[in-house]
């Protein structure tokens, strides 16, 4: 309790300087005039918000809150009504007062639940001008991460269950907190205050400006006024928190707000933040504009996101922010850093400058994803983030090669379409395209363009073209056309390559077509056209830049293996002639790690889609050296797992033997236990080697997992460390009923929310169908809180039919376990790993039960299953032929 009081006092002192900073700086006013017709909107274009003053009084125990909100607006034309967004708010009174004074009139609220709006009808027509609307209302506190929501978790000091409140507003859920013009272009300033228990800490975007004790044991906390910003960035949290803080560049107060008792677990995130702020301040050419930046650890989880960039108050789910040495695994620690780098980048790209509408969501997400990798490469080079970027490109191409894909910039009209836009195309294709364009422009020109863009549009809203124009003006001639090719049309270019060596020169023939996984013949007959920037590497000669338009015949100095997508910066696939492919197989051990990984993934994808026999990819896989870069090794061992998965049962032992021969020595060299001071990627590689070699039946690994699990009976700390979830994962997958019961007991008694989440998810991992059914039944008891949906999702990996049928049979109950905005996608995802033809019909019937604008995720699952059913028998045959040829 002492710590809380001290922190509150510090907040109070800071608030004074915050107010002063804003009074002195030229904080811009909101835009004026009706919203442009070019920006989509649900609301009539007759008014705009200028300022909100919101006060909420949450009643955490009864999951409800009362609110009073004053919205200052400007009305641009005569009207007898005003429309704002509101969702699940009950209005007690709405009154309107002219800004210059005058008597208040009551407005009649007419709720349109489907449109998520409230129309306020005035007794007589209102003249254009400024008004204040005062609302008194009640709202709901949700139990999933939507609007204002509650998380129950064990207190780290007492073990008692306590409740914290948090908000999640992106994209359409600020309207569940207060009536608002809840669209990104309606920027305004916000004053927030809250009536909360006196002993708790309240957090918002800005520092606390004042705290006033109330007679009933509560207090009123008032936060300083925000700068002009979009409603989806507003944030509020309250609970038994503690705050670890430090000073960032320019005196910015940097804090990590954690569940009380977290102590030093927040240290790494805290210390990682100021260098990022400094790096971005330099990169964007504009300092971080708020007096403080908090990152709030929420002890729960969502099926959809790990963190959210609320301005000045990032929300991150606890397991992605706080290091718990007993359980945090290396992949999570890596995610932790990239999530931090991502959200801090959004403080500029997204928060200072915001997309005008959700059709440009990718501009936020693709850019922040690209920036997180760039920043990680600067501060964590030993994790090889740039090599790992290849995997993001593959995820994007995985979606983008199906007919169900969409352009990076896509028309968005409804709330449901907005939710679906948070996908691999916006994030990973966005990142890959930006990386390609940066390489095309050159690093310095690109940065110059970004600085120009941020300067020009500070506190405003933009479209993608505003960014392209700024970069082209900075010297990147031709960039706009390339950017349009890759963002306005969907799909993946395919570049066919043939070459000959003549007198020390390589004659290279290139032709652009289109890569597809489900419409190969169709796109081959009529491919889309792209201008494709590439960096061609021939042997050890200096790489050559080229922009392919259609086809080209190039004479390149030197001879040797040719990598058409050198450095893997281009967003395209390359189909090499058999001779070029063979030369690459032989040269693979000597290539740059990023090209090794890129070629491996590219050739596996080409085999999967049937562009070439799987033999080429398998030849490359066995050429990956045993001492490869750890990120390449991670990619190789994952491919072995994939090959084992498609091979027929008769062939699986031979695949397992090859995988073991290739990678068991690396595991032996790393050892089963982490070594002090080793790099994070080595720890991650050890975990993946254990997991995959264990899954494909390496007895030593499975026996070791069981031995360690048994040791837990006498020593509860026996498994503590970065590989805890790896070992437990192997046990859970092969669990007996007694072992499953033991895991359930560990989940119920785990001392922290993060450990509980990990154990709960493991309950869904067994191969045994009876145990999987027990896990599904358990998920509905609600005992696992926000982990319930994760249990069902875990079951779906091994038993998709079981999980999907269960979710449909218990649809209302299962949907209540998932954030409101992603329920259809969640259920469709449960079926995604299916290999049953009947599942296609089930999904089609499910699609009919959801609105048309929510069907994309269902169509994706169907397309994936169709393709799997079609390709796996062929791949199994090709693997068998390759094995036979090797043995012969
Ligand atoms: Zn983001």
Sequence-separated (6 or more) residues with CB below 8 Å from residue 534: 495, 545, 546, 547, 548, 564, 565, 566, 569, 570, 572
Q: Distance between CA atoms of 698 and 714, rounded to whole angstroms?
A: 26
Q: Distance between CA atoms of 288 and 277, rounded to whole angstroms?
A: 7
Sequence-separated (6 or more) residues with CB below 8 Å from residue 43: 35, 83, 84, 85, 117, 181, 183
Instruction: Evaluate if residue 2 carries a pLDDT over 90.
Output: no
* Distance in Å, CA 347 to ligand 1 centroid: 10
Q: Distance between CA atoms of 598 and 601, rounded to whole angstroms?
A: 5
Give DSSP secondary structure letters for 135-184: EEEEEEPBSSSSEEEEEEEE-TTT--EEEEEEEE-TTTTGGGTS-B--ST
Instruction: Evaluate if residue 533 carries a pLDDT over 60.
Output: yes
Model pLDDT for residues 707-744, shown as the tens digit of each residue: 999 998 898 888 899 999 999 998 999 899 999 999 99
* Distance in Å, CA 300 to ligand 1 centroid: 19
Contact 480, 470 (CB under 8 A): no
258-286 per-residue burial string, b: 16 or more CB within 10 A, e: under 16? bbbebeebbebbbebbbebbbbbbebbeb
Give percent helix, percent strand, percent coil of the chain, each to the nearest 5: 45, 25, 30
* Distance in Å, CA 361 to ligand 1 centroid: 9
Q: What pLDDT score was predicted for residue 493?
A: 98
Instruction: Evaluate if residue 617 carries a pLDDT over 90.
Output: yes
Question: Which of 123, 142, 148, 121 minimizes the C-alpha distance to 54?
Answer: 148
Q: Distance between CA atoms of 610 and 632, rounded to whole angstroms?
A: 24
Given pLDDT bands bounded at 50, 70 and 90, which one contains residue 101? Answer: confident
Given pLDDT bands bounded at 50, 70 and 90, which one contains residue 17? Answer: very low
Q: Is the dihedral of CA 435, 440, 441, 444 positive or negative?
A: positive
Contact 92, 166 (CB under 8 A): no
Residue 574 phi/psi, 5-degree rounding, is -120, 125
Contact 118, 69 (CB under 8 A): no
| Dihedral-angle region of residue 147 (phi above 0 means left; psi in -120 to 50 means alpha; beta otherwise) | left
Q: End-to-end distance of the chain based on CA atoms, in angstroms?
A: 74
Q: What is the arithmetic mean of pLDDT over 493-501?
A: 97
Q: What is the arithmetic mean of pLDDT over 863-886?
A: 95
Q: What pLDDT score was predicted for residue 821?
A: 73
**Beta strand 573-576 pairing with 492-502:** parallel
| Dihedral-angle region of residue 66 (phi above 0 means left; psi in -120 to 50 means alpha; beta otherwise) | beta
- In the beta sheet, which residues pair with residue 413? none
* Distance in Å, CA 305 to ligand 1 centroid: 9
Given pLDDT bands bounded at 50, 70 and 90, which one contains residue 149? Answer: very high
Q: Distance between CA atoms of 129 and 705, rounded to whole angstroms?
A: 71
Q: What is the arithmetic mean of pLDDT over 474-489?
A: 96
* Distance in Å, CA 393 to ligand 1 centroid: 17
Question: Residues of the chain with pLDDT > 70: what percent?
Answer: 97
* Distance in Å, CA 754 to ligand 1 centroid: 23
Contact 620, 587 (CB under 8 A): no
Q: Distance between CA atoms of 10 and 76, rounded to whole angstroms?
A: 43
Residue 213 phi/psi, 5-degree rounding, is -70, 140
| Residue of higher predicted confidence among 327 and 602 | 602
Instruction: Evaluate if residue 618 carries a pLDDT over 80.
Output: yes
Instruction: Evaluate if residue 432 carries a pLDDT over 70.
Output: yes
Question: Which of 850, 756, 837 minimizes the C-alpha distance to 801?
Answer: 837
Q: What pLDDT score was predicted for residue 13?
A: 28
Instruction: Evaluate if residue 563 carries a pLDDT over 70.
Output: yes
Given pLDDT bands bounded at 50, 70 and 90, which one contains residue 856? Answer: confident
Contact 271, 247 (CB under 8 A): no
* Distance in Å, CA 106 to ligand 1 centroid: 41
Q: What pLDDT score was predicted for residue 852?
A: 87
Q: Distance between CA atoms of 726 and 859, rounded to whole angstroms?
A: 33
Taking residue 106's Cβ as centre, other Cβ atoms within 10 Å add up to 13
**Beta strand 241-247 pairing with 253-259:** antiparallel
Three-state DSSP class for residue 722? coil
* Distance in Å, CA 432 to ligand 1 centroid: 15
Q: What are the angstrom distances between the C-alpha of 408 and each of 137, 573, 787?
A: 39, 18, 31
Q: Distance between CA atoms of 291 and 29, rounded to whole angstroms?
A: 18
Q: Which of 74, 170, 343, 801 is catalytic?
A: 343
Mean pLDDT, all residues of the chain: 92
Question: Which of 36, 44, 53, 153 minimizes the C-alpha distance to 97?
Answer: 53
Query: At which residue do the structure tokens 């009808």 appear?
Result: 121
* Distance in Å, CA 343 to ligand 1 centroid: 6
* Distance in Å, CA 308 to ligand 1 centroid: 7
Model pLDDT for residues 282-336, shown as the tens digit of each residue: 999 999 999 999 999 999 988 888 999 999 999 999 999 999 988 999 989 999 9
Angle, CA 168 vertex, CA 377 and CA 44 arms, to 5°: 110
Residue 347 CA neighbour count, 13 Å, CB half: 31
| Dihedral-angle region of residue 283 (phi above 0 means left; psi in -120 to 50 means alpha; beta otherwise) | alpha
* Distance in Å, CA 694 to ligand 1 centroid: 35
Length of the chain: 888
* Distance in Å, CA 365 to ligand 1 centroid: 5
Task: Find the range with the poorest average confidence among 126-140, 451-465, 531-545, 753-767.
Answer: 753-767
Q: What pLDDT score was predicted for residue 30?
A: 66
Q: Distance between CA atoms of 318 and 337, rounded to whole angstroms?
A: 13
Q: What pLDDT score was predicted for residue 5?
A: 27
Q: What pLDDT score was predicted for residue 112?
A: 97
Q: What are the angstrom distances between the C-alpha of 244 and each of 16, 44, 296, 521?
A: 20, 45, 11, 59
Q: What pLDDT score was predicted for residue 9?
A: 28
Angle, CA 564 vertex, CA 559 and CA 569 arms, to 5°: 135
Q: What is the arithmetic mean of pLDDT over 611-623?
A: 97
Q: What pLDDT score was predicted for residue 4?
A: 16
Give DSSP secondary structure letters for 184-245: TT--BEEEEEEEEETTSEEEESS-EEEEEE-TTSEEEEEEPPP-SB-GGG--EEEESEEEEE
Sequence-separated (6 or more) residues with CB below 8 Å from residue 224: 15, 18, 19, 22, 206, 207, 208, 209, 291
**DSSP one-letter code for 305:** -
Instruction: Evaluate if residue 274 carries a pLDDT over 50.
Output: yes
Q: How far is CA 204 from the centre of its chain?
A: 22
Known catalytic residue at 431: no
Angle, CA 28 vertex, CA 30 and CA 101 arms, to 5°: 55
Angle, CA 182 vertex, CA 179 and CA 188 arms, to 5°: 90
* Distance in Å, CA 314 to ligand 1 centroid: 11
Kind plus residue range of the DSSP H or E element containing 484: helix 479-488
* Distance in Å, CA 815 to ligand 1 centroid: 24
Q: What pLDDT score was predicted for residue 10?
A: 30
What does the CA dihedral 659, 662, 665, 666 come to, rounded to 10 degrees? Answer: -90
Given pLDDT bands bounded at 50, 70 and 90, which one contains residue 7? Answer: very low
* Distance in Å, CA 364 to ligand 1 centroid: 6
Quick one: tokens of 357?
């509408």
Q: How far is CA 26 from the centre of its chain?
A: 34
Q: What pLDDT score was predicted for residue 31?
A: 75
Question: Residues of the chain with pLDDT > 90: what percent?
Answer: 83
- In the beta sheet, which residues pair with residue 137? 67, 91
329-367 per-residue burial string, b: 16 or more CB within 10 A, e: under 16? bbbbbbbbbbbbbbbbbbbbbbbbbbbbbbbbbbbbbbb
Contacts 24+ apart (CB under 8 A), 709-714: 709/739, 709/742, 712/742, 712/746
Taking residue 115's Cβ as centre, other Cβ atoms within 10 Å add up to 16
* Distance in Å, CA 349 to ligand 1 centroid: 9
Query: At which residue do the structure tokens 């836009």 appear?
Result: 421
* Beta strand extents in 266-317 (DSSP E only): 292-298, 307-308, 313-317
Outline where 647-781 has alpha helix (H): 652-670, 680-695, 699-711, 724-733, 737-749, 753-763, 769-779
Model pLDDT for residues 778-801, shown as the tens digit of each residue: 999 988 888 899 999 999 999 999
- In the beta sheet, which residues pair with residue 212? 220
Q: Distance between CA atoms of 636 and 596, rounded to whole angstroms?
A: 10
Given pLDDT bands bounded at 50, 70 and 90, which one contains residue 28? Answer: low
* Distance in Å, CA 346 to ligand 1 centroid: 7
Q: Distance between CA atoms of 340 and 323, rounded to whole angstroms?
A: 13
Give DSSP secondary structure letters for 332-365: HHHHHHHHHHHHHHHTTBTTTBEESSGGGHHHHH
Q: What pLDDT score was predicted for residue 868?
A: 92
* Distance in Å, CA 780 to ligand 1 centroid: 31
């Amino acid at each position: 309790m002492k710590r809380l009081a001290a922190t509150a006092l510090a907040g109070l002192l800071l608030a004074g300087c915050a107010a002063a900073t804003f009074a002195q700086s030229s904080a811009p006013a909101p835009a004026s005039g009706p919203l442009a017709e070019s920006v989509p909107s649900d609301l009539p274009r007759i008014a705009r918000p200028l300022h909100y003053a919101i006060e909420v009084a949450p009643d955490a125990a009864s999951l409800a809150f009362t609110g009073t909100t004053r919205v200052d607006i400007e009305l641009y034309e005569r009207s007898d009504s005003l429309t704002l967004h509101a969702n699940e708010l009950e209005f007690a009174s709405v009154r309107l007062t002219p800004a210059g004074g005058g008597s208040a009139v009551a407005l009649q609220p007419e709720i349109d639940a489907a449109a998520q709006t409230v129309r306020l009808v005035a007794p007589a027509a209102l003249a254009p001008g400024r008004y204040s609307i005062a609302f008194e209302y009640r709202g709901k506190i949700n139990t999933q991460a939507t609007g204002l929501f509650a998380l129950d978790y064990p207190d780290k000091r007492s073990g008692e269950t306590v409740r914290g409140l948090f908000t999640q507003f992106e994209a359409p859920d600020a309207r569940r907190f207060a009536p608002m013009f809840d669209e990104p272009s309606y920027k305004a300033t916000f004053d927030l205050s809250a009536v909360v228990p006196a002993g708790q800490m309240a957090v918002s975007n800005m520092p606390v400006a004042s705290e006033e004790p109330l007679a009933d044991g509560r207090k009123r906390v008032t936060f300083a006024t925000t700068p002009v910003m979009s409603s989806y960035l507003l944030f509020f949290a309250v609970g038994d928190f503690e705050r670890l803080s430090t000073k960032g560049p320019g005196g910015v107060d940097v804090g990590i707000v954690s569940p009380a008792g977290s102590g030093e677990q927040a240290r790494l995130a805290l210390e990682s933040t100021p260098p990022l702020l400094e790096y971005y301040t330099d990169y964007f050419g504009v300092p971080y504009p708020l007096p403080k930046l908090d990152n709030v650890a929420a002890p729960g989880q969502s099926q959809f996101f790990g963190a959210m960039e609320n301005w000045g108050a990032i929300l991150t789910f606890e397991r992605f922010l706080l290091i718990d040495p007993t359980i945090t695994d290396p992949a999570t620690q890596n995610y932790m850093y990239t999530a931090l780098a991502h959200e801090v980048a959004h403080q500029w790209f997204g928060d200072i400058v915001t997309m005008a509408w959700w059709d440009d969501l990718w501009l936020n997400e693709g850019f922040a994803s690209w920036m997180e990798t760039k920043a990680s490469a600067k501060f964590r080079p030993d994790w090889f983030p740039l090599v790992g970027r290849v995997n993001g490109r593959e995820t994007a191409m995985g979606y983008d090669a199906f007919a169900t894909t969409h352009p990076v910039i896509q028309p968005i009209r409804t709330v449901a379409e907005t939710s679906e836009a948070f996908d691999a195309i916006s994030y990973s294709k966005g990142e890959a395209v930006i990386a390609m364009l940066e390489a095309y422009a050159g690093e310095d020109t690109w940065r110059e363009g970004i600085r120009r863009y941020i300067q020009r549009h500070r506190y405003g809203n933009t479209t993608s073209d505003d960014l392209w124009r700024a970069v082209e003006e900075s010297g990147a001639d031709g960039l706009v056309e390339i950017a349009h090719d890759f963002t306005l049309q969907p799909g993946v270019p395919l570049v066919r390559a043939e070459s000959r060596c003549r007198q020390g020169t390589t004659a290279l023939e290139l032709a652009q077509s289109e890569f597809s996984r489900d419409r190969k013949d169709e796109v081959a007959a009529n491919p889309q056209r792209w201008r494709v920037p590439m960096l061609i590497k021939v042997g050890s000669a200096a790489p050559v830049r080229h922009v392919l338009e259609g086809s080209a015949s190039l004479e390149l100095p030197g001879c040797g293996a040719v990598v058409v997508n050198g450095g893997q910066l281009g967003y395209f696939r390359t189909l090499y002639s058999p001779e070029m492919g063979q030369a690459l197989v032989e040269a693979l051990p000597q290539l740059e790690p990023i090209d090794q990984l890129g070629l491996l993934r590219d050739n596996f994808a080409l085999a999967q889609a049937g562009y070439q026999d799987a033999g080429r990819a398998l030849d490359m896989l066995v050429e990956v050296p045993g001492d490869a870069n750890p990120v390449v090794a991670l990619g190789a061992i994952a491919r072995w797992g994939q090959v084992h998965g498609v091979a027929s049962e008769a062939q699986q032992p031979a695949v397992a033997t090859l995988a073991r021969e290739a990678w068991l020595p690396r595991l032996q060299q790393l050892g089963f236990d982490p070594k002090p001071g080793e790099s994070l990627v080595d720890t991650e590689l050890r975990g993946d080697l254990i997991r995959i070699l264990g899954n494909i039946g390496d007895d030593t690994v499975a026996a070791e997992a069981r031995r360690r699990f048994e040791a837990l009976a006498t020593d509860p700390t026996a498994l503590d460390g970065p590989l805890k979830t790896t070992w437990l994962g192997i046990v859970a997958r092969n669990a007996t009923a007694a072992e499953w019961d033991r895991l359930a007991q560990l989940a119920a008694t785990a001392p922290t929310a993060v450990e509980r989440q990990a154990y709960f998810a493991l309950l869904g991992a067994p191969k045994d169908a009876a145990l999987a059914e027990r896990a599904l039944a358990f998920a509905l008891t609600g005992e696992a809180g926000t982990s319930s949906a994760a249990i069902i999702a875990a079951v779906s990996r091994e038993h998709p039919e079981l999980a999907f049928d269960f979710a449909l049979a218990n649809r209302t109950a299962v949907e209540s376990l998932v954030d409101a905005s992603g329920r259809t996608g969640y259920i469709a995802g449960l079926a995604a790993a299916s290999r049953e033809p009947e599942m296609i019909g089930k999904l089609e019937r499910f699609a009919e039960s959801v609105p048309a604008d929510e069907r994309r995720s269902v169509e994706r699952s169907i397309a994936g299953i169709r393709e799997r059913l079609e390709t796996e028998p062929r791949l199994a045959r090709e693997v068998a032929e390759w094995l036979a040829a090797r043995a012969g």
